[in-house]
Amino acid sequence: MQSTESGHDDVVVVGAGPVGLWTAAELGLGGVPAVVLERADERSPHSKALGVHPRTLEVLAMRGLAERFLAEGVPLPRWHFGMLESPVDLSVLDTPYPFMLAIPQRRTEELLEEHALAAGARILRGHRVTNLTQDEHGVRLEVSGPDGPYTRFARYVVGADGVGSVVRTSAGIAFEGTETTFYGYLGEVRVTSEPVRGAHNEHGAMLSVPLRDGRYRISGVDKLTGHLPGPLTLDALRESTIRVAGSDFGMHDPSWLTRFGDAAKLAERYRHGRVLLAGDAAHRHLPAGGVGLNVGVQDAMNLGWRLAAVARGDADPALLDAYHDERHPVGEQLVEHTLGQSALITATAPDGIALRAVLSRLIAEVPELSLALARKLSALDVAYAAGDHPLVGKRVPVPPSRHARPAVLVATAAPIPAATAAAAKWGFDVVTAPLPWTTAAVVLVRPDGHVWTAADEADDERIAAALDDIGVRFPGAPG
């Protein structure tokens, strides 16, 4: 039966995972309620991702959500890189959240969905996008819905629909990289004896993570069976764990058994006309270090305020090009360091095991190396293009605004009437507070928590001119 449902929307987000939900929430906070099309009828009971890293916690804090996550997650101040024996110390990071927060993706999605709905998003489940085309006026989506096929129109579309993205494929965006060379195993099970945290030898690698319901997630690679795709059985999980760790720890009552590959790919571009990509639709990699969900949410944080401003008509569409310019290099680094971890995890020959031992000792003995890896895993090392001040592009740990508005941070209460007037004109908050930098007197902060520009003196006219140069109007500014 042909459905009569159709729609004309400012923005359609395809995919209701964490990335799509955060994109929709940011759009709503920016005054552009989004429609989210999700192909699944209901949320998966399984959680591919288990961890929220420090920069993502800072992002959540910017919108007043961090405490809700902290109340339900388990902080892990040490985490692994490439399943090396020596863990990376996150506790020394310069952030209010120096740990990885273990929380199932399913619960993360539930919390983010509440946030997106409160921001005005409309989520349609059981609506599968099958194709799209675009022209200079908008995007036409072909959708298979619960009542049959229909057509939907949008000015812009965000593809957050995973590694098999229909949005990316239909838009003709290349997705190149390496194909799968091995398959890892993952099972969530109950045990009769506590598993070792990790193991690695000539047979493969294994990592265990405790879950809040008393189960353990057991994952790793088995040299003997790593070439085999297809479903994972409990017996196969037991056999792999015994080979690598010497015991199956009495595992039983599995709630999830699956395999995953090590393919690594990156979208050629994150924007093609009116179509944009975020999360796994833009980058695919081995789930090493638990960084995928986090990079995706940070993609959405970078994109959301830009797309909202363009969709409102308050910014030039060229603002969207900077999304690709800033986030594509982050995707390149993501693919690079997860490929590097893949090599370490699968190193079962004597030379590879020796390399692992050397790197593990260096992490334990050289604090600077551990810190560099911690900043990489946590995304605290991400900074964008430099400008006329050394702080430009740097992250702000937790900016004071929770409403997706930019801010002018001023170190002292010196009068700045021209700057205050310009801030009101463009919809910036003005906040007087001690700044975490010794050199800057004024910092202009983007809605995603990165520095737009900064000055070492509270020069009233210069601040006003900088706001006018940015030229992006935000909700709350006079019409």
Section 288-315 average pLDDT = 94
Mean pLDDT (whole number) for 112-135: 98
**What's the confidence (pLDDT) of residue 479?**
61
Least Cα distance to 5 among 47, 37, 33, 50 occurs for: 37
CATH class of the domain at 7-178+265-378: alpha beta
Per-residue model confidence (pLDDT) at position 436:
76
Alpha-carbon 349 to chain mean position: 34
437 pLDDT tier (thresholds 50, 70, 90):
confident
pLDDT of 401? 62
Q: State mean pLDDT over 5-21.
A: 89
Q: Token digits for 386?
A: 């430099």
Q: 13 and 36 in contact (C-beta within 8 Å)? A: yes
Proportion of the chain above pLDDT 90, given as a percent: 79
Indicate the range of 149-163, 251-265, 434-448 predicted with least confidence.
434-448
The residue with greater pLDDT, 203 or 411, is 203
> Each residue of 158-186: pLDDT tens digit?
999 999 999 999 999 999 999 999 999 99
- Rounded-to-integer distance, Cα 151 and Cα 137, Å: 16
450 vs 148: CA distance, rounded Å: 44
Pick the CATH number of 385-479 from 3.30.420.10, 3.30.930.10, 3.50.50.60, 3.40.30.120: 3.40.30.120
Q: What φ, ψ does residue 186 adopt, rounded to 5°?
A: -150, 130
Least confident span in 263-272, 379-388, 392-401: 392-401
Mean pLDDT of 195-204: 94
The mean per-residue pLDDT over the stretch 401-424 comes to 83
Ranges of each domain in the chain = 7-178+265-378, 183-261, 385-479
- pLDDT score for 138: 96
Q: What is the mean pLDDT of the chain?
A: 92
Same fold: 183-261 with 385-479: no
CATH for the stretch 183-261:
3.30.70.2450
Share of the chain above pLDDT 70, in %: 97
The tens digit of pLDDT for each residue in 29-46 reads 999 999 999 999 999 888
For residue 286, give the nearest of 337, 338, 222, 334 by alpha carbon: 338
3-12, 114-123, 280-289, 416-425: least confident range: 3-12
pLDDT in tens, 241-258: 999 999 999 999 999 999
Predicted confidence at residue 7, as pLDDT, reads: 63
* Amino acid 441: pLDDT: 87
Distance CA 178, CA 98 (A): 33
Do 284 and 337 touch, CB atoms closer than 8 A?
A: no
Say if residues 121 and 28 touch (Cβ distance below 8 Å): yes
Which tokens belong to 155?
Answer: 């000015």
